[in-house]
Structure 1
Amino acid sequence: MINYGFYQVPTNNKIQLILNQHAREDGNHWKWFIEDMESLGFNCQLAMNDALSFLWHEETKISRLVTYELYKYIAEGTAIEKLIILESIEGVADIFLSSTKKVTDELQLTTNKEYKYFGGLHVAAEQEHEAHSDDMHEYIQTLCIAAENRQHSVYLVEKVFELFYSMESRIINLRQSLCGSINL
């Protein structure tokens, strides 16, 4: 989604340039996710039909729906609305990664494996984004959302958090039904 929804060229729009830079910086994080899934032992071999059944099963529908709905808002959004959505997703990621980093730091002590996506490398990469530079932060602070667009902007922020909350709740419920209760 980051490479196809947020990235647009050519552009001379300052906000779109920020989105493009962010997309370039985040565009390969999925590779860390794949590596971590391998390190965590989740790369099981499945027959093609089993893999497709897993991907398209009713139980995993929520992750597809979240992606589709986010993409819809991104595709329909103005540059500033896309920035609002991106920063909201980043907010969700900050919350998620702060939790997973604690777990992977502990896990690393026993496995001696680095967990790039769920661990410190991803957290550090997020903090080092050019969008988090002082100049970019100052520019973003100067952006003004027209009064008639503020309610929709708030809606977008709330929707992003709601979508991810729904997905995480569904994943936890699925995990509990398959494996018993989780002690967090």
Structure 2
Amino acid sequence: MRHQEQFSDHPFFARLATDPPFERLAPFPVCLTFFVMTFQDILRLCDERATEPGYKSMVHRHRLEDAGHDRWFLGDLAALGLEPPAAAELFGERHRAARNASLALLSEALRARHDACRLTLLLTLESAGHVFFERVARYLARIGERRRLRYFSQTHLDVEKAHDVFEEDTDARIEAIALDQETRTEALQLIDRCYRELTGMFDAIEAQIAAGAARPALAPSRPRSAREAARGAAQGAALRVVRTPGPRAVRTPGPRPFARRAPRGDGGSPG
């Protein structure tokens, strides 16, 4: 809970609380693309590598419940009029922090030595997701966002809270798990690393948003009135140069650069 509370105090969420225009949050949400896509592989790898039946069932269920959320994300980008980044952009500087965090979290699924740590990884990401989706959904509701969204909606948050791991019997099973000291230490260190990576990613997102917000917005162009348009046309006509045709130059024959040889027998040199 300590990590979750600290994460909820992140400056990005503090910014959302001020209800800025959605356009002033760029590059959010496009900058989350790499993370959202990689998250599906994190789920898959945890599921494929879990072997102990008790953990396997919970990890597999978690994967099924979060399957397809990447398509929700892409659908929301389209609904918001945003293009998903092309490969060159996705692997460029602006998405570097998301790649760093995503790959670090992916490595946790690969190097975990116990299924308890794989389950811990998924539950940690779930706890951070609750903070994110709750804050974003409330922000969009406050600014009156009317476009049909799924990934960034209250519906997604409701789906997350309805996951099997929050059912009473599953929660009791998790609470009853007894870990040896080595595995417990490994799991706690994993939680620290996960929140450190997530915080670093949102640090970079917030820095990019702040840099964009510091640039003055361009004032919208004001349409000209009919009188202003007529005045501009008159001024343009007064300044227009009228070209009159001048005398055409008369070309006179000059010496040719090369004299063609005269045919033999017409008085020319025999050469």
TM-score range, shorter chain: 0.7 to 0.9
Supply the RMSD in Å over aligned alpha carbons: 2.0
Q: What CA deviation, in whole Å up to 9, does each residue of 1:34-87 have, x standing for no partner?
A: 11111222127x7xxxx2331111231111111111111111112100111111
Aligned-pair CA distance for 1:130 = 1.4
Match of 2:224 in 1: none
In structure 1, stretches of 5+ residues that fail to align are: none
Instruction: State whether structure 2 residue 61 is matched by structure 1 residue 21.
Output: yes
Give matches, 1:84-123, under 5 Å.
84-107=120-143, 109=144, 111-123=145-157
Larger Cα Rg: Structure 1 or Structure 2? 2
1:149 and 1:9 map into 2 onto residues whose CA distance is 17
The superposition leaves residues 15-40 of structure 1 with CA deviations (integer Å, 9 ceiling, x where unpaired) of 11100000001011111111111122
Alpha-carbon contact 1:2-1:27 (below 8 Å) kept: no
From 18, 35, 38, the equivalent of 2:78 is 38
- Greater Cα offset, 34-43 or 116-125: 34-43
Please report how far the alpha carbon of residue 3 of structure 1 lies from its aligned counterpart in structure 2 after TM superposition: 4.1
How many pairs are equivalent?
Answer: 174
Deviation at 1:126? 0.5
Task: Give the % identical residues.
Answer: 18
1:21, 1:168 → 2: CA distance? 28
Q: Is the 8 A contact 1:11 1:17 kept in 2?
A: no
* CA-CA distance at 1:112 after TM superposition: 2.7
Which residue of structure 1 lines up, in the alignment, with residue 96 of structure 2?
61
Distance 2:107 2:51 in 1: 21
Higher helix share: 1
Q: What secondary structure does 2:96 align onto?
A: helix
Q: What are the equivalent positions in structure 2 for 1:150-169 lying under 5 Å apart?
A: 150-169=184-203
Gaps of 5+ in 2: 1-40, 216-271
For residues 199 and 181 of structure 2, what CA distance do their matches in structure 1 show? 28
C-alpha separation in 2, matches of 1:175 and 1:57: 17
Task: State the AA in 2 paired with 1:158.
Answer: D
TM-score, normalised on structure 2? 0.60
Give the TM-score normalised by the residue count of structure 1: 0.86
Q: Which amino acid aligns with 2:175?
A: Q
Change (3 A) 1:177 1:23: same
Match of 1:79 in 2: 115
Query: What do the CA deviations read for 1:75-111 (whole angstroms, capped 9, x no partner)?
Result: 111210011111110011011111101122234x3x5
4+ aligned runs moved over 6 Å, structure 1: none
- Helix, strand or coil at the partner of 2:48: coil
